[in-house]
A and B are shown apart, each in its own frame.
Chain A
């Protein structure tokens, strides 16, 4: 199906979607400070982007939207992405510990990061830590700085990302869970660190809060669902003035760019040194085919393989303190990694030849 036709259908659909009652879908996007990788650090060809953080990244493993957005939006750079998100994780790597130590949790985090050989690290922490409130702020601050030092030591660049806001759906957990009282406190800490260290800072709070009022971007209020990742990806691409090709469409939602429709949305991208323009459309139901599924299935499969390499089942026996029992099977983990790399090549191949066809 011709993409242009889909877009027209979508535009028509949006008109009847009820979004008209608000001043425009996602119109409250405040893109101030919504800085993207393109505007400051830029990408170099063949760079490796590592997504490090909590469930904000981990939950996208099954969808691959963020990665899809990065590699298609910056297709000419032939990027490679590694997603090291881990549920419940903090800047101290608290979810990454094992039964034995050393290494401690932080040691595991640092080791995994190093092993992923990053050129650029997108860091999304704070969503777990903020439950500690004022009392935990100092520890958070020093943890973030230590992590940033570590990244610097590896010679990589950083993009800092704010925690997700509460993605309230009507009727779900009102008032919002108490941890969100500290959302701004922790985000401010991150933004201050970003400013002090001159690191790009991606503030998700306002745009995603706005999105969550109109769209089903979350099933439980705290995590993005697939549509949520589509919208987030769109935001990043639009904010970076990158192509969204041809339309992001998946379970429960879609997003595309069309600068001419009545529901055009736009926002400014700024990091103090330059601005960009972006506009997105978003919706809550699907269309037939976006052309993204094949590429995303490669991404998802690659993620699955890499996951079994860096966070394998039976870690205790393969590489942990009972490696004397099954350590002889540890080379299988290398095989998982190599298979993931094989798919990296496949993905690049696809970007050159298959994408958009």
Chain B
């Protein structure tokens, strides 16, 4: 009966689908992205799909349908593994072979080995989206190479019927599998090689994005289970210890025995690779970020972490997106490769290699030659692992397109049936031997912990954990005491023993104490991490952590700082702060900040009781107080600052604390100090006024006593100081000076005028409204009219809407009223009000056109076509507001996009495109970086061409709102006064929301002004940026973008080159150079404002013809450029220029003497501005390219970013 029933269901489903098909035929045509029923059937129905191979489907598709929204099908490579392997290239001395392919394994995602040396692979054909009418049937494969020839000869389907298994991990007598919302455990209880028992271990994981589902399952050395999830995944997991929520990316840590589940790290857009090194340090890669390998200690918080106030950077910003991560260990690969890290640049079809060098308490990464590269665009390495034989195994998802949102889920080019596992070996080197361990006795297993292969030790630890404490502990104890008694203690081995204790939930004080005194700092720091976990069981935990915080190595101190936050006791904060007595670095600083904050309940009250003596010294006190968000702490800081006890490097943080939390009397101090003349404080006057201004604008707080003292700078000759004073006068609403401000507004221009008008607007009352209204009227200068009216809009929009018609009518044609439009459009009611007044009265056509442009620029995507916007558009059109035709039409049909795509392929000149991309007026680099250098408000585009099909790039440029990357979603904040701010969220704290706006500025919005805060559709990138280009230029630009990351000249080279420059662009230094002063003398006094940013081309050079030319005593055509060099380990640093002639160099203030085309210098730690003076008459090259020598890569790097 059962069988009959299931058949009946199947038939019903078929019938039902057929019915739906008929009804939704028109819908379905859209669904499958083509207009021909044959191709629709091919794409949409399993039954047919199974009988027709995708290739023949494709041919059908090609022959009968026009290409609708499809990228060039030439991109579909030959899928034969024999032909694919021809296109996989490895360095000299290595070779690749096919370990397994379909049907032995289909669509592999993650793979992990078991103790018998078998490879477990999770594969998913239903990815990226289950189809109605099909029952997902994803599988777990076990691949075995039984005869040791390096090729899998047995494939067992251990389990099927799964839904997108994105994580897999053998253990506990079966295998753990990620199955959409659940983590399940599958077990074969009857030994037939197939799972027959299924248990839900955890559930409630989010599925809002299939490429972010929980993934990459990994046993940690501590016997805990680690795994990742990514940005759109919102998980809500019920455990006996409470519900655990993670809304966004991060790494989970889990103990299967107790169901303890915790968030271990937060952030990264798509944390993907997850591995531990030999000392138990965790590293992550990001499949959607771009900072290379990330060093992840407990509590580490990275980019895109929800609500994070502060984040850590990866070890190499500017890298492409990476999936998977492995560290080479064992004896098969050459010694020079061991310890190197490999991770997949799946977009560019290659496997990158990095070497990590210790740097302070963290690491620095150096990129080395790739392990593998390919032109086969369906080669998609997504997981990588060293196998039992020491070879490297690569899971090749095999797909011509990347499985992501930009390309239709039902795009027929999505491969759903292939998959490969490749194996990379060193030619002629013997493979490692895999020890028998499954049935080995416990002492034998301990012996195996000495093996150099990470995989062996991992498996052994896991076996020991599974055998359980009763069996293992007695043997372990005697083994450890033998080891401890040995003359030649093997610390590394003892550390393995410590982890075995940890994984068995047992404590060994003796072993722990021995390792806390280990010689090797990495063993010591690993021991401190265990100590911090065992602290409830150890009486001496506090003193031991205190001692570790004073360790001679920064990594040990880092672990101590992390451990101390769990001590949750009075005094813990002192121990943590003691790390300030030794050198700090960015990881220590992050961890200490986090610890001090987490310990707040255990120290803040005690400090309040005895504020002067609570901390050991002013440095500790300053650090602690600036780390918390408490008004009393700011008062404490004020006291320290007044006494001159705040260390120089904390001053900016302290001023920020004043701005964010300072009370009126704290702010008084800043005003007092600003008034002191002839002291250190005089030089900081500007910074003080800025902090005061922030406090006033964000919180409405002003100094408690005599704020009118600010007026003395109202006429200061130093303009920045003067404008801040003017703004403060308004922000503090000082009485009796409105006429002064009004007069200033009339008398001055530019920034001062803006300051005066802002100051007036800050009063926001009837009186100033009158003044601003008067300025708005005919009779004032047009600039003043517009500026005054837009200020008035900030508090009295109704009033401005009555004035707007006369203003717009009265302005001379050449005036620019876009600010006035912006004032309306950036307020929630503004568009409607403006439309209402414009509907009734006409305005000059030139103004109406301006209005249309302003709508394009200032109205976010989701409001461009709403009712009010349509009304306004109509009203403007009625006044002649019709936009002239674009040179490059922006609204294209599918067919037009396809035509463009074909032209891009055939006639574009990518080099010309790169020049366009770099052109200042295109503003591309204002928001986008290449190789980490450039603007930050949009994604780095270095590998765009490898991830997005050309048609997609065209659409993204024409319509940016339809192509927003993860991590660049728009946050819209509406303030209580109706003002709307759009930007990408940088951070959100209890006090403020910080956005990066379209101008790449950080906008701080105090929480109390936030009326609503939503994440909305759309992009920061305005539409129509390319409207002014000729069609040919547009094609070149797209040609360049689509080549980015592809093999050839538009792929980032692996050497380290200068990518961010500052170029001397003019100003006073220019005239001094012209009058014959020595450039080196002049440079000493060049203000920051004289420099402008410039960035290298993809290939890493700076074209000289794009630079301003300066005349100097040396003659014409001198370029002066600068870059920042960070020295991270003392010693000789060398960099190389293309030529030995025609340039001079200053490192910091000092002239450096070159040897040929090389410069080397012995440098201490620090950041050095390096200045080059290039004489174009004697310098023979067309561009500058500065490369760090290979050896220097270990101790220096060039700073990048905006």
Task: Report A's interface with B, CB cutoff 8 A.
Answer: 54-55, 58-59, 62, 86-89, 94-95, 97-102, 127-128, 131, 173, 177, 179, 219-223, 293-294, 297-298, 301, 305, 308, 311-318, 320-322, 324-326, 328-329, 331-332, 335-336, 338-339, 342-343, 346, 354, 357
- Against A, the Cβ 8 Å flags (1 = close, 0 = not) of B3-27 are 0011011001100110010001001
The answer to whether B239 touches A313 (Cβ under 8 A) is no
Q: Could you tell me the distance in whole angstroms from the C-beta of A56 to the nearest C-beta in chain B?
A: 10
> What are 18 A-B residue pairs whose CB atoms fall within 8 Å in the complex?
A55-B238, A86-B236, A88-B245, A89-B236, A94-B236, A95-B236, A98-B234, A99-B247, A99-B969, A313-B130, A316-B405, A317-B209, A321-B1015, A324-B961, A324-B1017, A326-B129, A329-B410, A342-B16
Q: 8 tightest CB-CB pairs across the interface, nearest first?
A: A88-B236, A87-B204, A335-B132, A95-B236, A100-B1015, A325-B405, A88-B243, A315-B208
Q: Could you tell me the distance in whole angstroms from the C-beta of A262 to the nearest C-beta in chain B?
A: 34
The answer to whether B17 touches A335 (Cβ under 8 A) is yes
The answer to whether B204 touches A294 (Cβ under 8 A) is no
Q: Which residues on A sit within 8 Å (CB–CB) of B1?
A: 294, 354, 357
The answer to whether B238 touches A101 (Cβ under 8 A) is no
Closest B residue by C-beta to A324: B962
- Contacts known (A131-B242, A332-B132); A88 close to B232, Cβ less than 8 A: no
Q: Which residues on A sit within 8 Å (CB–CB) of B12?
A: 342-343, 346
Closest A residue by C-beta to B127: A313
Q: Could you tell me the distance in whole angstroms from the C-beta of B309 to the nearest C-beta in chain A?
A: 20
Q: Which residues on A sit within 8 Å (CB–CB) of B164?
A: 313
- Contacts known (A95-B234, A313-B210, A343-B9); A331 close to B31, Cβ less than 8 A: yes
Q: Does B349 contact A (CB under 8 A)?
A: no
With the chains together, A342 CA to B14 CA distance in Å?
11
Q: Could you tell me the distance in whole angstroms from the C-beta of B1042 to the nearest C-beta in chain A?
A: 19
Q: Could you tell me the distance in whole angstroms from the C-beta of A256 to the nearest C-beta in chain B?
A: 21
Q: Which residues on A sit within 8 Å (CB–CB) of B16?
A: 338-339, 342
Q: Could you tell me the distance in whole angstroms from the C-beta of B978 to the nearest C-beta in chain A?
A: 18
Q: Could you tell me the distance in whole angstroms from the C-beta of B728 to the nearest C-beta in chain A?
A: 37
Q: Which residues on B sit within 8 Å (CB–CB) of A315?
A: 207-209
The answer to whether A220 touches B240 (Cβ under 8 A) is yes
Q: Which of B180, B200, B204, B963 is in CB contact (< 8 Å) with A88?
A: B204
Q: Does B237 contact A (CB under 8 A)?
A: yes
Q: Which residues on B sit within 8 Å (CB–CB) of A311?
A: 207
Q: Could you tell me the distance in whole angstroms from the C-beta of A205 to the nearest C-beta in chain B?
A: 17
Q: Which residues on B sit within 8 Å (CB–CB) of A313?
A: 129-130, 163-164, 180, 207-208, 210, 213
Q: Which residues on B sit within 8 Å (CB–CB) of A131?
A: 242-243
Task: Report B's interface with A, CB cutoff 8 A.
Answer: 1-2, 5-6, 8-9, 12-13, 16-17, 20, 24, 27-28, 30-31, 33, 128-133, 163-164, 180-181, 199-200, 203-204, 207-210, 213, 231-232, 234, 236-245, 247, 258-259, 405-406, 408-410, 961-964, 969, 1014-1017
A-B residue pair count with CB separations less than 8 angstroms? 175
Q: Could you tell me the distance in whole angstroms from the C-beta of B951 to the nearest C-beta in chain A?
A: 13
Q: Which residues on A sit within 8 Å (CB–CB) of B133?
A: 335, 339
With the chains together, A354 CA to B1 CA distance in Å?
10
- Contacts known (A329-B129, A339-B133); A102 close to B1014, Cβ less than 8 A: yes
The answer to whether A346 touches B9 (Cβ under 8 A) is yes
Q: Which residues on A sit within 8 Å (CB–CB) of B5?
A: 294, 297-298, 354
With the chains together, A331 CA to B131 CA distance in Å?
11
The answer to whether B208 touches A320 (Cβ under 8 A) is yes
Known: A314-B210, A325-B963, A346-B8. 19 other contacts (CB 8 A): A87-B204, A87-B236, A88-B204, A88-B237, A97-B234, A99-B969, A99-B1015, A100-B1015, A100-B1016, A128-B243, A177-B241, A222-B240, A312-B207, A313-B213, A314-B409, A317-B405, A321-B969, A331-B28, A343-B12
The answer to whether A301 touches B9 (Cβ under 8 A) is yes
Q: Could you tell me the distance in whole angstroms from the C-beta of A70 to the nearest C-beta in chain B?
A: 20
The answer to whether B238 touches A222 (Cβ under 8 A) is yes
Most chain A beta-carbon neighbours within 10 Å: one of B129, B207, B238, B410: B238
The answer to whether B31 touches A329 (Cβ under 8 A) is yes
Closest B residue by C-beta to A56: B238
With the chains together, A62 CA to B5 CA distance in Å?
19
With the chains together, A357 CA to B2 CA distance in Å?
12
With the chains together, A62 CA to B748 CA distance in Å?
74
Closest A residue by C-beta to B129: A314
With the chains together, A313 CA to B182 CA distance in Å?
13
With the chains together, A342 CA to B163 CA distance in Å?
22
Q: Which residues on B sit within 8 Å (CB–CB) of A127?
A: 238
Q: Which of B163, B199, B963 is in CB contact (< 8 Å) with A219?
A: B199
Q: Which residues on B sit within 8 Å (CB–CB) of A297?
A: 2, 5-6
Q: Which of A177, A221, A336 is in CB contact (< 8 Å) with B132?
A: A336
Q: Which residues on B sit within 8 Å (CB–CB) of A328?
A: 30-31, 33, 408
Closest B residue by C-beta to A291: B1
Q: Which of B31, B203, B409 is in CB contact (< 8 Å) with A55?
A: B203
Q: Which residues on B sit within 8 Å (CB–CB) of A342?
A: 12-13, 16
With the chains together, A95 CA to B237 CA distance in Å?
9
The answer to whether B1015 touches A95 (Cβ under 8 A) is no
Q: Which residues on A sit within 8 Å (CB–CB) of B241?
A: 177
Most chain A beta-carbon neighbours within 10 Å: one of B16, B27, B199, B240: B240
The answer to whether A331 touches B1016 (Cβ under 8 A) is no
Q: Could you tell me the distance in whole angstroms from the C-beta of A290 to the nearest C-beta in chain B?
A: 12
With the chains together, A221 CA to B238 CA distance in Å?
11
With the chains together, A91 CA to B889 CA distance in Å?
51
The answer to whether A332 touches B131 (Cβ under 8 A) is yes
With the chains together, A332 CA to B962 CA distance in Å?
21
Q: Could you tell me the distance in whole angstroms from the C-beta of B129 to the nearest C-beta in chain A?
A: 5
Q: Which residues on B sit within 8 Å (CB–CB) of A95?
A: 204, 234, 236, 245
The answer to whether B240 touches A177 (Cβ under 8 A) is yes
With the chains together, A86 CA to B231 CA distance in Å?
20
With the chains together, A305 CA to B8 CA distance in Å?
17
Most chain A beta-carbon neighbours within 10 Å: one of B12, B204, B231, B247: B204
With the chains together, A298 CA to B9 CA distance in Å?
8
With the chains together, A315 CA to B130 CA distance in Å?
12
Q: Which of B13, B231, B234, B238 is in CB contact (< 8 Å) with A128?
A: B238
The answer to whether B20 touches A179 (Cβ under 8 A) is no
The answer to whether A99 touches B208 (Cβ under 8 A) is yes
- Contacts known (A314-B409, A329-B408); A308 close to B130, Cβ less than 8 A: yes
With the chains together, A325 CA to B962 CA distance in Å?
7
Q: Which residues on B sit within 8 Å (CB–CB) of A354?
A: 1, 5
Q: Could you tell me the distance in whole angstroms from the C-beta of B333 to the nearest C-beta in chain A?
A: 39
Closest B residue by C-beta to A102: B1014
Q: Could you tell me the distance in whole angstroms from the C-beta of A149 to the nearest C-beta in chain B?
A: 23
Closest B residue by C-beta to A220: B259
With the chains together, A144 CA to B199 CA distance in Å?
32
Q: Could you tell me the distance in whole angstroms from the C-beta of B30 to the nearest C-beta in chain A?
A: 5
Q: Which residues on A sit within 8 Å (CB–CB) of B408?
A: 326, 328-329
The answer to whether B1014 touches A222 (Cβ under 8 A) is no
Q: Which residues on A sit within 8 Å (CB–CB) of B1015?
A: 99-101, 321
With the chains together, A332 CA to B243 CA distance in Å?
32
- Contacts known (A298-B9, A335-B17, A335-B133); A223 close to B238, Cβ less than 8 A: yes
With the chains together, A276 CA to B1015 CA distance in Å?
53
Q: Could you tell me the distance in whole angstroms from the C-beta of A268 to the nearest C-beta in chain B?
A: 32
With the chains together, A94 CA to B238 CA distance in Å?
13
The answer to whether B1017 touches A321 (Cβ under 8 A) is yes
Q: Which residues on A sit within 8 Å (CB–CB) of B240?
A: 173, 177, 220-222
Q: Which residues on B sit within 8 Å (CB–CB) of A177?
A: 240-242
With the chains together, A195 CA to B208 CA distance in Å?
39
With the chains together, A325 CA to B961 CA distance in Å?
10
Closest A residue by C-beta to B211: A314
Q: Which residues on B sit within 8 Å (CB–CB) of A331?
A: 24, 27-28, 30-31
Q: Which residues on B sit within 8 Å (CB–CB) of A100?
A: 969, 1014-1017
Closest B residue by C-beta to A132: B242
Q: Which residues on B sit within 8 Å (CB–CB) of A128?
A: 238, 243
Q: Which residues on B sit within 8 Å (CB–CB) of A343?
A: 9, 12
The answer to whether B9 touches A314 (Cβ under 8 A) is no
Q: Could you tell me the distance in whole angstroms from the C-beta of A23 to the nearest C-beta in chain B?
A: 29
